[in-house]
Homo-oligomer: A and B are copies of this chain.
């Protein structure tokens, strides 16, 4: 593999080895400087883009056997691109020239047998194996920490990216785990079907990664996570492989699939799955509703979540988030509502949701008066919706631009019940804000949006940005993360709603997980991965 070619199939556009997404999509130096000006105390000039050539990449500590050699690469650029995920923590380590441990080898198996052979070899030789999909983890899910293994192998699944079989009657497809979002959607499109799973990382993450991390998807209500769309999984473990039956539902014991969903590569490698698909939506309608009062906006969202309306999109942006994304400029909170259906018009549902929002003080249409709203065509997408969507996809690139200016930017998401939500959001603002100020001497920007909502609660997503201490960005990040973990724990809000545990969320996860389940999980790990080679350090030690 040459140093200039892409590391990822399915696209010929070069990916950044150190930052988010496509290398040619990164903000340039001028844009970085402009971004930095938004945060007092950041650097005057952006940090230079790091180069693989500047990394001290040693020779691999292990040699694969001849039978597997053709699957394995020791190319420095490929190894560097597989050293870490795409968390802020990863980006700043690359920018500061101190990336995580570089894997010794990158393997690209093309079928289950090759995965099994690689696991066998790794088990015999004490080589850690880190399953790797798109590498978009923001929780330290795909790096190696520690030194208990002789070598580290990154197991890149992206050569297994085919839709193998389609059952149109049941609207299901058997898909290999290494398919990136656009790669699998492209194969489904000719059949009029779609998985419709659109995380922010859609272009840069794989089906297997989504399943292994319990990724949050397109739908803000109802079936919000990829888990709900998994019909059957194939898992290859060091102790053997197995496939669950294709079933719409089953009452036969604890769900085998739910045990591997969210297992983050620590119990086995998900190599393919039968996924539940949908017809492409033919009816769509969306709008936004502005609120002067965030508390009332929360009530409105709860009313929508507890109705039968089931919006596909129901994202509440607090005033800061609305301002940042261009959805509102007047200090309003903004609720982005979207409905879609393959079978029936959705304008009535949209209108009913807007009515509920109005009952709680919402003003629909951008800056329009309630009277004018009523005359507006129901379901017309408005400027705030478009602004939000563009900002959503651009956000991770801007984060990297801010990182180049020495800023510390963290995002974290959680979920809690409605009774606890307002106090949780207040406490995060106060305590994480205070921690950021204490760590840096600068006031932090701290925004919140609700990404997914449920009848019994919601998932708030927080973004915190503050000028770092030059060279001390990681320490600042650590302090902010510790404060966030602590406040989530005290409010019994999950350490993660859909970003997964990885290594970064272990302190919170270890305290949150019920002890009987911890015992079961450790016992299962011993049974399935007796040599302890699979993604060491995620979920458990």
Contact = CB atoms under 8 A, between A and B. Distances in A.
Interface of A: 167, 169-172, 213-216, 224-225, 231, 235, 237, 239-256, 258-264, 267-268, 276, 278-279, 302, 306-310, 341-344, 352, 415-419, 452, 454-459, 492-501, 505, 508-509, 512-517, 519-524, 526-528, 539
B517 A417 contact: no
A539 B433 CA distance: 50
Contact of A171 (B231, B240, B456, B492): B456
Given A259-B258, A344-B352, A456-B172, A516 B235 contact: yes
Contacts of A251: 213-216, 225, 262, 494, 496-501
Contacts of A310: 308
Contacts of A513: 252-253, 256
Give 6 nearest A-B pairs by CB, closest first. A248-B457, A242-B514, A520-B524, A256-B517, A248-B454, A523-B527
30 contacts: A169-B418, A170-B418, A216-B251, A225-B249, A231-B417, A239-B516, A240-B516, A242-B515, A246-B417, A247-B457, A247-B493, A248-B455, A248-B456, A248-B459, A249-B415, A249-B497, A251-B496, A251-B500, A252-B494, A254-B263, A254-B267, A254-B521, A256-B516, A259-B259, A279-B306, A307-B344, A308-B310, A516-B528, A519-B528, A520-B527
B224 A169 contact: no
B499 A167 contact: no
A77 B20 CA distance: 69
A167 B417 contact: yes
A246 B516 contact: no
A523 B254 CA distance: 14
A35 B408 CA distance: 77
Nearest to A222: B222
B459 A259 contact: no
A512 B242 CA distance: 11
Contacts of A252: 262, 494-496, 500-501, 505, 508-509, 512-513
B528 A246 contact: no
A415 B247 contact: yes
A78 B515 CA distance: 34
Contact of A250 (B167, B255, B494): B494
Contacts of A263: 253-254
Number of this chain's copies in the assembly equals 2
A459 to B, nearest CB: 7
A198 B46 CA distance: 62
Contacts of A459: 248-249
Nearest to A422: B169
A279 B528 CA distance: 44
A167 B306 CA distance: 14
A457 to B, nearest CB: 3
Nearest to A246: B417
Nearest to A238: B516
Nearest to A522: B527
A500 B254 CA distance: 10
B352 A253 contact: no
Interface centre among A216, A260, A456 (most CB of B within 10 A): A456
B246 A254 contact: no
Contacts of A342: 308
A499 B253 CA distance: 10
A255 B262 contact: yes
Contacts of A262: 251-255
A527 B239 CA distance: 18
A260 B498 CA distance: 21
Q: Which of A241, A251, A307, A458 has the most CB of B within 10 A?
A: A251
A152 to B, nearest CB: 22
A321 B264 CA distance: 46
Contact of A253 (B248, B343, B521, B526): B521
B496 A237 contact: no
A244 B492 CA distance: 10
A242 B521 CA distance: 14
Contacts of A492: 245-246
A168 to B, nearest CB: 8
Nearest to A514: B242
Contact of A258 (B231, B250, B258, B523): B258
A233 to B, nearest CB: 8
Given A244-B514, A261-B254, A457 B170 contact: yes
A524 B307 CA distance: 39
Given A253-B262, A259-B254, A341-B308, A519 B527 contact: yes
B455 A516 contact: no
Contacts of A493: 247
Contact of A260 (B241, B254, B515): B254
